[in-house]
Amino acid sequence: MKKIHLMVIALFSILLIGSASYGLLYMYVNQPTLPEGVRVGEWSVEDVKRKEVLLGLDERLKQMEAWPITLEVDGSTPKAMTFTAAQTGASYSADDFRTAVQQLDEGNLWERAYARYHFIKEWPLKLTYNSKTLKEQLTPAWEKETFGTPANAVRRITASDKVQYIPEKGVRRIAWDELASLMQAKLHRDFAPLDHDAKPNPLLIQLPLYTLQPEVTLDSLRQEGIDRKIIQFSTSLGNSSAGRIHNVSAAAQAVNGMILPPNGTFDYEKVIKKAEEDYGFREAPVIVNGQLTPGIGGGICQVSSTVYNAALLTGLDIVERRNHSLPVKYLPKGLDATFASGSINFRFKNNTGKSLLIHAKVEGGSLTVKFFGTFPENVSYALESRTIETLSAPVKYVSSNVLPEGAQQVLQNGQPGYIVETMRTKKVDGKIVESKTITRDTYKAQNRLIARSGHTNLPDPREPSVVEDGISDTKEP
């Protein structure tokens, strides 16, 4: 009986202690305030009700994001712009703390007790910065309006053929990476300023800038090596028709301003395509199978021939060139360069080691071509062409039914042909160091055509039609 009594007392004691412990545990986990010593972002929240803490947290986060940030811009007219921290791309959060507070009300009694007992005392404030937000306000258009647009360096050839350079103009632009670093260094990291300042004092940040250079700078232009005029060569337009003058001008304009890089190749076929597209060609005599005939584009070879002479006098490498089938009036024999679309081209290579600028212009009854670049001032070239053989004009006979027996009539006077050699002489410091024959050209003789009664030669084999010094003839097919 005594043992039963003791067991009842023990059981009752256990139940009493358990009930008391449960009650104490229940009271512990259901405390409305946070544990002692808890701070979030240096803001003490001990003994503050949990709901009030979360409401206060939201308010303080809003105040942090509303903190004024003043960006100062140096310049001839300094200016300042004020934004909120949020407008610059800053955002604040304390999500880990918020989650921990919410966990105090989640789970069973033991889980809640565990969460409260192990509740962390110090909680940092998380700052996130994204410059994209500020870029939406300080746009490239704003930068152009505020700081201007960069201007390329310019090379100019004066009326006296001097080469002048105008430096580039750089402009300022925002250094966004540096600004992002400054913002993150300057922005508040905790709530302490909210407790110290009755009115927020703007954070002052000097807007970091860098100089944006244009694509073409003075250094890049000078490195091309276009330092001076190397050579000038002119040919006369004589009594050319208006159509021919237009064609020469069109081809000259297509050449004018061309820059050949080192080892670049001048291609006259490309020049003619550009001239035809940009300016078009007009009617003027062309050469077809050794005969002058009406056509389109007559005169374009005066440009190729003038450029050819400038290239020879600069010592450039001639890649492709042929003389006309007929001598031309504006140059000595052996110094011309013909062109025929798809069959005859004129090309030379820039072997000066630097860029070569070509100017071409029709003015005062002449076509003038100038080369600008880098070339030794003590080096010069001279050209000499000489006829080494004159070819007699062949005589061709055709029959005539109207001439009396034994009579004949000259229908076409023939023209002699020529074999011409051209020599180029190189001088250094006025002394000849090299002389060599660079071309040997043949200008075919033109037939002397005679009609006579009852007699004729067999017809010559028909030659393929080649249009020189133009782009087409105007004969009916």
Q: In angstroms, rounded to a whole number, what is the distance separating the alpha carbons of residues 21 and 23? A: 5
Q: Which residues contact 185 (CB under 8 A, 6 or more apart)?
A: none
Per-residue model confidence (pLDDT) at position 404: 75
Give me the DSSP letters along 265-302: EEEHHHHHHHHHHHT---B--EEETTEEE-EESTTHHH
Q: In angstroms, rounded to a whole number, what is the distance separating the alpha carbons of residues 167 and 154? A: 7
* Structure tokens given for 14: 């256990």
Q: Which residues of 380-407 are buried (b: 16+ CB within 10 A; e: fewer)?
A: beeeebeeeeeeebeebeeebeeeeeee
Per-residue model confidence (pLDDT) at position 469: 77
Per-residue model confidence (pLDDT) at position 476: 41
- Per domain, the residue ranges of the chain are 24-146+175-207, 224-473
Q: What is the pTM of this model?
A: 0.75
pLDDT one digit per residue (tens) for the chain, 477 residues:
666 766 656 665 565 555 544 454 555 656 778 888 899 998 998 888 888 899 999 999 999 999 999 999 987 678 899 999 999 999 999 999 999 888 888 778 877 788 788 788 999 999 999 999 999 999 999 999 999 999 999 999 999 999 999 999 999 999 999 999 999 999 999 999 998 767 889 999 999 999 999 999 999 999 999 999 999 999 999 999 999 999 999 999 999 999 999 999 999 999 999 999 999 999 999 988 777 889 999 999 999 999 999 999 999 999 999 999 999 999 999 999 999 998 999 999 999 999 999 999 999 999 999 999 999 999 999 999 999 999 887 778 777 677 777 666 666 676 888 999 999 999 999 999 999 999 999 999 887 777 676 655 545 555 556 788 778 776 443
Q: In angstroms, rounded to a whole number, what is the distance separating the alpha carbons of residues 222 and 225? A: 6
For the chain, give the longest Cα–Cα distance: 178
Cβ(390)–Cβ(343) under 8 Å?
Answer: no
Residue bearing tokens 């508040």 = 188
Per-residue model confidence (pLDDT) at position 406: 64
Per-residue model confidence (pLDDT) at position 70: 96
Per-residue model confidence (pLDDT) at position 458: 46
